[in-house]
Structure 1
Amino acid sequence: MFDLHRLRLLRELKHRGTLAAVASALSYAPSSVSQQLSQLEAEVGVPLLERVGRRVRLTEQAEILVAHTEAVLERLERAEADIATSLTDLTGTLRIASFQTAALALVPTALSLLRDAHPRLRVHVTHMEPESALPALLARDFDLVLAEEYPANPSPRPAELEEEDLLDDRLHLALPQARMPGAETPLAALRALADHPWVMEPEGTTARNWAMTLCRNAGFEPDVRFESPDLLLHLRLVEHHHAAAFLPHLVWNGRRPTVPLRPLPRGQRTRRIFTVVRRGSSRHPAVRACRSALLQAVASPSDTA
């Protein structure tokens, strides 16, 4: 029978990419990781890794082993959930990753609900964008991720992950000035900002790709002078008339919007916000409690306009 610890190291290598990254994540020496994987190769009797320059990649047989390892780990997560369900109180640590606006608008209320209902549950929250958080969830760095999906930009759905919808968050065109000539319709309002400075999220993010596509479909290339993942900075730049922006409704966290807003073209008016967990862990009482608390936070009057 293959050693589960070594199989997990092989799985970690698939998700993290390098021996050094595996060693760093697990607090091992790289030489120890390499030695364990060599022993696994001896157990299996076939090569599991092949050199590609300075990196290594998994062989076809290694990919087969990782697929079976995923199934074993999923079953173990279900066992962990069953044991936790049999207990009278929630204990341990729940690790959450959340993007900024959800972290500001929803997570504090959810944390208060969890603290009141389950005082012995330790919740650890990390601010991280979904592009980084979802691979980290697969690598078991987190137990639950708050993620977002922009219109016409569906996110990849790995078979190892399970999603649950949380809310649809309205998206707005935020104007740097109240009156803009020729902005009677959503498309006209967007085109009226063709020569105006813009603030957007960094290149490579889902939000930036969506925003650029929206502007290009309107017939112009936006003049992006400001880049930041911080949507509160986006809002401040619009408030001071330095830039136009696309802002989600959650950025005001239940308060009245502070800048002139226009609707976006049809089909582009909401982003989907959802929670993601590894397959097999959705039954865990801590995960269920967290998802329930987040849904209550969405329904809370303090989080609605």
Structure 2
Amino acid sequence: MFDLHRLRLLRELKHRGTLAAVATALSYSPSSVSQQLSQLETEVGVPLLEPVGRRVRLTPQAEILVTHTEAVLERLERAEADIATSLSGLSGTLRVASFQTAALALVPAALNLLRAAHPALRLHVTQAEPEAALPALLARDFDLVIAEEYPGDPSPRPAELHQEDLCDDPLRLAVPAADDRDTRRGSDPRAELRAHADRPWVMEPDGSAARRWATTLCRAAGFEPDVRFESTDLLLHLRLVEQGHAVALLPDLVWSDREPTVELGQLPTGQRTRRLFTAVRAGRSGHPAILACRRALRQAAAHPER
């Protein structure tokens, strides 16, 4: 029978890419990880790794082993969930990752609900963008991720993950409140976008889902945006708009605890909302701590503070 600990190391290598990354994540030395994987190769009787430059990659036989390891680990997580369900109260630590606006608008209210209902449950919350958080969820760095999906840019849905819709968050054009140019409010939203084609824009960095969506939106309106400011911090986006330095595309969750301080305009039909969802590994979807956290987040999303 193959050693499960060594199989997990092989799986970690699949998700993290390098022996050094596996060693760092698990607090081992790279030589120890390499030695364990060499012993696994001896157990299996076929090569599991092959060199590619200074790195290694999994052989087809190693990929088969990782697939079976994923199934075993999912079953073990289901067993953990069943044990937790059999107990009278929730305890332990739940590791949650959330992008900025959800962390500001939804997480504190959810924490209040969980503290009242399950005082022994400890939540560890990390702010992380979905592009990094979802792979980390697969690598078991987190237990639950709050993520987003922009119009026309559907998120991958790996079979190993269980997604659940949280809420729809409207998206709007944000311009300085003192703006006096004709934005053609109430007419074609594309014309309103084009009215700001010659202005500086603030957007999220290249490669992000938000940036792809925003760029496509502007191009569909007939112009290439002059992006002078790039940041994942939407509060910085807001400040730049407030001070008249840029135009932005902001979600309504930015206003969860305040009245808007900038002028907001409608976007074209089909481009007006982003989908927020929670993702967990399939084996943990029935864990009572996951169920409780998802329930609290849904309540927070249904009644955002204002």
TM-score range, shorter chain: over 0.9
Matched, 1:36 2:39: no
Q: Is the 8 A contact 2:18 2:55 kept in 1?
A: yes
Once the 2 structures are TM-superposed, how far is the Cα of residue 302 of structure 1 from its aligned partner? 1.7
- Which residue of 2 is the match for residue 25 of structure 1? 25
Tell me, what secondary structure is at the counterpart of 2:109?
helix
Aligned length: 303
- Which residue of 1 is the match for residue 45 of structure 2? 45
For 1:168, the aligned partner's letter is: D
Work out the CA distance in 2 between the residues paired with 1:300 and 1:249: 13
What TM-score do you get using the length of structure 1 for normalisation? 0.98
- Which residue of 2 is the match for residue 244 of structure 1? 247
Q: Is the 8 A contact 2:99 2:127 kept in 1?
A: yes
For 1:49, the aligned partner's letter is: L
Matched, 1:290 2:304: no
Runs of 5+ in structure 2 lacking a partner? none
Among 208, 224, 234, the alignment partner of 2:227 is: 224
- Which residue of 2 is the match for residue 108 of structure 1? 108
Once the 2 structures are TM-superposed, how far is the Cα of residue 185 of structure 1 from its aligned partner? 2.3
Work out the CA distance in 1 between the residues paired with 2:304 and 2:50: 56
Alignment of 1:85-124 (within 5 A): 85-124=85-124
For 1:282, the aligned partner's letter is: S
- Which residue of 1 is the match for residue 158 of structure 2? 158
- Which residue of 2 is the match for residue 233 of structure 1? 236
Closer/same/farther in 2, CA of residues 162 and 272 from structure 1, 3 Å limit: same
CA deviation digits over 1:238-265, x for unaligned, max 9?
A: 0111100000000111422111011000
What TM-score do you get using the length of structure 2 for normalisation? 0.97
Closer/same/farther in 2, CA of residues 301 and 14 from structure 1, 3 Å limit: closer
Displaced runs of 4 or more, over 4 A: none
Once the 2 structures are TM-superposed, how far is the Cα of residue 301 of structure 1 from its aligned partner? 5.1
Work out the CA distance in 2 between the residues paired with 1:209 and 1:73: 35
Work out the CA distance in 1 between the residues paired with 2:252 and 2:163: 22
For 1:158, the aligned partner's letter is: P
Work out the CA distance in 2 between the residues paired with 1:78 and 1:143: 13
CA deviation digits over 1:246-301, x for unaligned, max 9?
A: 00000111422111011000100000000000011110000000000001111225
Q: Is the 8 A contact 2:105 2:304 kept in 1?
A: no
For 2:270, the aligned partner's letter is: G
Alignment of 1:119-268 (within 5 A): 119-176=119-176, 177-181=178-182, 183=184, 184-268=187-271
CA deviation digits over 1:113-159, x for unaligned, max 9?
A: 11111111110000000000000000000000000000000011111
- Which residue of 2 is the match for residue 67 of structure 1? 67
Work out the CA distance in 1 between the residues paired with 2:175 and 2:305: 25
- Which residue of 1 is the match for residue 2 of structure 2? 2
Closer/same/farther in 2, CA of residues 301 and 137 from structure 1, 3 Å limit: closer
Runs of 5+ in structure 1 lacking a partner? none
Q: Is the 8 A contact 2:166 2:297 kept in 1?
A: yes
Closer/same/farther in 2, CA of residues 301 and 133 from structure 1, 3 Å limit: closer
Work out the CA distance in 2 between the residues paired with 1:157 and 1:103: 22
Work out the CA distance in 2 between the residues paired with 1:196 and 1:158: 40
